[in-house]
Amino acid sequence: MKACFQAVLLFLFSTLIVFQVNAKSTSFNSVLLASESTSTSVDDFCQLFPSAVQSHNKGNSALIMLGESFIKYPIQERFKLGFKTNTNNSSWKNESCRNDKNENWICEVDTSLIYDSTNFTPDAIPAPDKGNIEVYNGKEKFLAQGDYNSVSVYGGTLVLTTGKYTFKNLTLNTNSYLMLEDENTQVEIYLAKGKLSGKINTILKNNAMIKTKPEQVFIFGVVDDQDPNQDSEELKSSIEANTTAEIVGYIYSSGNVKLSASYTTANTPLRPTLRGAVTAKNLRLDSETNIAGDGACLTPPEDNYILEIEPETAFSLTCDYLPVTFRVKKEDGTLADTYSGSVSITTNITEVGKASWFPTDSDTPYKDVSEETSVNIVNGIGQLRLKSHGYIGNIAVTGQLDNSPLTNTVNGSYTFVPFKFGFEPSPVKVIAGKPTAVKIEALACENDEATVATGYNGNKRLSISSAFLQPSTKGNGDVALKASSNDWQTEQETFAFLNGIAEFSLRYPDAGIVDLKLTDPNCSVSNGCDILPSGTLPKSFANWTQLEGSVEVHARPWTFAVCPDKQSDGTSSSGVGFVAAGDPFKVTVKPLVWQVDGSETASIQTTDELCLVQTTQNFFKSDAPIVDVELSISNTVSVTPVDGKPGVLQGTVQQSHTDELVFSDLSWSEVGSVRLQADAKAPYLDMTINQGYRHLGRFYPKYLEIQPNRFTYPDGHNEFAYLSQPFNADLMIKAKNALGEQVENYNGFIPDYQAEVALMVYESPSLNSLNDRFSYHHITSSTDHSFKGRWNSDIEQVWLLKRKPVIASPLTTVEDGPWDESNSRWGGYISSYHDPISIRNTTTDVTDEVDSKQVAPFETAPHLHYGRMVLSDAISPFDKPVTIPLNIEHWNGTEFVTHDADSGSKYNSNYFCKVALHPADASNTSILTLGNTGTVMVGETDQIEAHPHLSPPDKYKKQQTRFWLRIADDAPVDIGCSQNNKEYQPWLTYNWRELGDEDPSAVVTFGVYRGSDRIVYRGEKGLN
């Protein structure tokens, strides 16, 4: 069990193959997830997932495949699935099972592959000790391990740490995240009910989503659901994943699992619905669901270590100790600082007594070099010292990591001499192409100690040679030196020695390790040399030929240039657009040679010119020093707009140095411009490569999404308004990226760089525009008209749709409608833009073409009626007041009828006009009774009253009058009315007299009955 757990940890630490090593771990048949707060351990989780998809139900286990669902298992063979029955109505039926050889076939079932769950039952869910939690858009909630009742996420993020979680109900809606705290987090999740439509098992590092591993998340369903009815495709499931779900993990359910993902309809690229494996009682896959078998349970990890030795070559004096260091590194070039083990060491020396290995802290020999020995590796590093016992010659050293026989073998070549050139610093660490000062010393042994040979003086013509170690290719050129010459020399140079010491400059135009060797051909046994002692040369020096020495030159790239494949200098206020947020883009990262006036330590901003300068081509070689290159973005804010959200960098953000560093599937979740940074994942030859970065932009929204709208109609109007009557519309338009996620920075763009949305009203299904009748009420600000700066926010606008005019002056309208969803649509279109942005609503990206505009319809349309206020004629005895019936009528498509849904239209008897019909002069004293105000009820009122307004001693007075109730802008024409006050409701006027739309009116007659005197007045009404 311990070995298995270590195997998992090692797999989690390794991410990209840098140096291919295939040493398999002993086994991976169990995983132990435990923490101090976890009451029980769970063994053998991987045994629950023998394949990518299977059942544990020995009874009537069913696999149901519909839509475009498929299963891919990353093996070379054709596989079958452990179920009893398979209902396969997938439109990709013949491709429903796939393997790594790109073979496709109809999924087949085999009952012998059903997992035997006799000895396993998921832990029961205890009574919750934590309450209900809701997380909304853009919010992040860290969740401590424990037992929860109900947790719902609506566009927010849950962050889990290592341990065990139980949920009575877990709901992750679209665009929600279940994120792990870091790369080492492992969780067990137990569910009674789960609706998982978001992304599960993501890790955010340096604002980039890094690739996670299925074995970090195990999800257990504890409810035993019912089997489906015979021949039924319906499956009630306690665990469901819908819409754009992306789950990385292993799911084991006592009951049923239903995966129903739809990426295309949500304008999202197709991704694995589940990357990992699933074992369930019954399983249904439909829509665009796809399962990709993956993870350590299906493909056990390998111990991929790289062994290094330093130095690879060296000259050492016979009296000196030569430190030899072994380092164990991970695939990405970082030190395996948790590794402990040993390295076996052998040499080419078979004769005892020539040299020995010494510990680093003792002068007592540890082992003779003729014997095999080992060095302990602690935290990835081990070191011994090698010393000659007077032996002059070469010692070849070989090292091999114990217990990993397939790990690379390392070799060192060390020459022991009585005299040599030494160098400071050693090794010489340089930036590719940048001159570096070096000191060379003539060294000799005196009293068994290394000392400077002060007698070595004058101008010495030394030979120069370069041996390319890592990589073995020459690359951009040889190591070049400059001592007394004006030009750089690669073959010979004259050095001015004083007391055994000289100085020179060194330059190497590429990256890697090069062995620089300097030789004085005139300083030898045969030629003599002022470094030699006087007298006869001792026999022990007989194998020494000439004065020479070498030093390793460790050269790193100066920085990384970040080079996109198209113009990318746009910001939120200038330049051209780059790509839509969430859409893929490509950059090439180039390791550069030093440029004059550059900084040795600061981050370097990439320009177009830097993308054209010389690169360190040796950096890419397979035998070059190992390092991964990682892209990231600033974890604070975007570059533009100022203080914008940093967003998330997605895609493959880390690559091996052997991959030519073309990042072709990157995307950024936000809009604006961003600082894209390139760094070496680990020190390069113990040096830090300057970070390279580029301000990349402009990213812009992929589309604008009209949210479900809501109308607020005038008080007393039961879900309707009248044509020409203002009503409130509550709207929201979200700016979104290509993944369907809301972007926040768009409001920070200057107005000219934001799209403008205009509204369109049109008939359905004819798509004839009604926009000539649409207008905003004056209280709607011009900013709210365009939505600029108001994205993702609730906006309240006031709209009206005018009545259909037939004559402009005097305004005369004609009845039409009523308008609602059955015959009209309201929508938005992009009327101006700076970047190519589309518009849609939340249910479809299909737009209507109206007047050559692409219009995204709102999900609902307002209910609008042509209305009119009607006053009915009335009669009364000469001295009695009379009620004037008032009705509100609307056009129902064929005729005017009383509008019983109207209990909000107002009346006010104080505002009226009159024309005296009889007598037609000032003696007509009739009026409307003042003070009668209110609203109609179900379209009617009887509160309007006319009064004869007689003054004593009138015994009898016949009067006939036409009254207008003031509701229009202007008083009726041709009647000489000076009453400008009104109960303003022009949407209830009508063309009563063929003189244009005007106030409603009625004729009131006082004096229709005086007894039986047989007198009939001209103009009397109501007589037979």
Distance CA 492, CA 480 (A): 10
Indicate if the pLDDT at residue 317 is higher than 50: yes
Q: What is the mean pLDDT of residues 313-334?
A: 91
In this predicted structure, the answer to whether residue 194 has a pLDDT above a threshold of 60 is yes
Task: Give the CA count within 13 Å in the CB-facing half-sphere of 251.
Answer: 33
For residue 11, name the pLDDT band (cuts at 50, 70, 90): very low
pLDDT beyond 60 at 1023: no
Output 915 or 537, whichever has higher pLDDT: 915
What is the average pLDDT across 7-22?
32
Predicted pLDDT at 327: 94
Q: How confident is the model at residue 16 (pLDDT cuts 50, 70, 90)?
A: very low
Task: Quote the pLDDT of residue 175.
Answer: 85
**Residues 801, 773: contact at Cβ < 8 Å?**
yes
For the stretch 42-65, pLDDT in tens is 346 899 999 999 999 998 899 999
Give the E-state strand segments of 264-409 in sequence order: 274-280, 283-287, 290-293, 302-303, 306-310, 313-317, 322-329, 341-347, 355-358, 367-368, 373-377, 381-388, 393-401
Range with the lowest mean pLDDT among 208-222, 349-363, 608-622?
Answer: 208-222
Q: Note whether 48 and 252 are within 8 A (CB).
A: yes
Distance CA 755, CA 752 (A): 8
Q: What's the confidence (pLDDT) of residue 177?
A: 92
Contacts of residue 627, defined as CB under 8 A and 6 or more positions apart, other chains included, come to 18, 332, 333, 657, 680, 681, 682, 684
Taking the alpha carbons at both ends of the chain, their separation in whole angstroms is 110
pLDDT per position as a tens digit, 175-189? 899 999 988 899 999
Select from 61, 111, 105 the least CA-distant residue to 79. Answer: 105
**Averaged pLDDT for residues 883-902:** 97
Give residue 685's pLDDT. 96
Instruction: Name which of 228-232, 411-415, 558-562, 701-705 the model is least confident about.
Output: 228-232
Confidence (pLDDT) at 532: 63
User: Is pLDDT at 409 greater than 60 in this prediction?
Assistant: yes
| pLDDT for position 106 | 94
CA distance linking residue 321 with residue 316, whole number of Å: 8
pLDDT surpasses 50 at 25: no
Residues 6+ apart with CB under 8 A from 401: 305, 307, 328, 341, 342, 343, 377, 407
Q: How confident is the model at residue 530 (pLDDT cuts 50, 70, 90)?
A: confident
Q: Which of 556, 565, 558, 559 is nearest to 663 (CA)?
A: 565
The C-alpha atoms of residue 83 and residue 99 are separated, in whole angstroms, by 19
Alpha carbons within 13 angstroms on the beta-carbon side of residue 159 total 10
Q: Give the per-residue pLDDT at 1016.
A: 55
Average pLDDT over residues 887-903: 97
pLDDT in tens, 663-684: 999 999 999 999 999 999 999 9
Per-residue pLDDT at 1009: 59
Amino acid occupying residue 562: V
Rounded to the nearest 5°, which phi and psi values hold at 423? -135, 145
Using the predicted structure, report yes or no on whether residue 623 has a pLDDT greater than 50: yes
Band of residue 24 on the pLDDT scale cut at 50, 70, 90 = very low
Q: Report residue 15's pLDDT band, with 50, 70 and 90 as the boundaries.
A: very low
Segment 718-750, tens digit of pLDDT: 999 999 999 999 999 999 999 889 999 999 999
> Reduced to 3 states, what is the DSSP secondary structure of residue 991?
coil
- Of 520-529, 601-610, 764-773, 989-998, least confident by mean pLDDT is 520-529
pTM of the entire predicted model? 0.74
Q: What is the pLDDT of residue 27?
A: 29
User: Is residue 1020 packed enough to be buried (19+ CB in 10 Å), middle (13-18) or exposed (0-12)?
Assistant: middle
Answer yes or no: is pLDDT of 871 > 90: yes
> What confidence tens digit (pLDDT) does each residue in 417-440 have?
889 999 999 999 999 999 999 999
pLDDT tens figures, 101-112: 889 999 999 999
Q: What is the mean pLDDT of residues 243-263?
A: 91
- Which has more confidence, 567 or 262? 567
Distance CA 30, CA 25 (A): 13
Average predicted confidence (pLDDT) for the chain: 89
pLDDT of residue 119: 85
| Integer Cα distance of 30 and 410 in angstroms | 34
pLDDT (tens digit per residue) in 464-492: 999 999 999 999 999 999 999 999 999 99
pLDDT number for residue 108: 93
Q: Which of 453, 60, 101 is nearest to 231 (CA)?
A: 60
Residue 14 backbone dihedrals phi, psi, to 5 degrees: -95, 135
**3-state class (DSSP) for residue 744:** coil
pLDDT above 60: residue 193: yes
Q: What is the pLDDT of residue 638?
A: 82
Residue, of 979 and 3, whose pLDDT is higher: 979
d(Cα 519, Cα 516) in Å, to the nearest integer?
10
Query: Highest mean pLDDT range out of 120-134, 324-338, 801-815?
Result: 801-815
Kindly indicate the confidence band of residue 527, based on its pLDDT and cuts at 50, 70 and 90: confident
Range name among 175-179, 401-405, 888-892 with the lowest pLDDT average: 401-405
The residues, ordered by sequence, that sit 6+ positions from 535 with a Cβ below 8 Å of its Cβ are none
Tokens representing residue 13 in the block: 């630490």
**In terms of C-beta density within 10 A (0-12 exposed, 13-18 middle, 19 or more buried), how is residue 172 classed?**
buried
Question: If pLDDT is split at 50, 70 and 90, which confidence band does 370 have?
Answer: very high
Give the range among 530-534, 553-557, 984-988 with minimum mean pLDDT: 530-534
Average of pLDDT values for 760-773?
A: 96
Q: What is the mean pLDDT of residues 577-582?
A: 96
Looking at residue 839, what is its pLDDT?
97
Least confident of 15-24, 464-473, 926-935: 15-24
Pull the structure tokens for residue 441: 């010393």
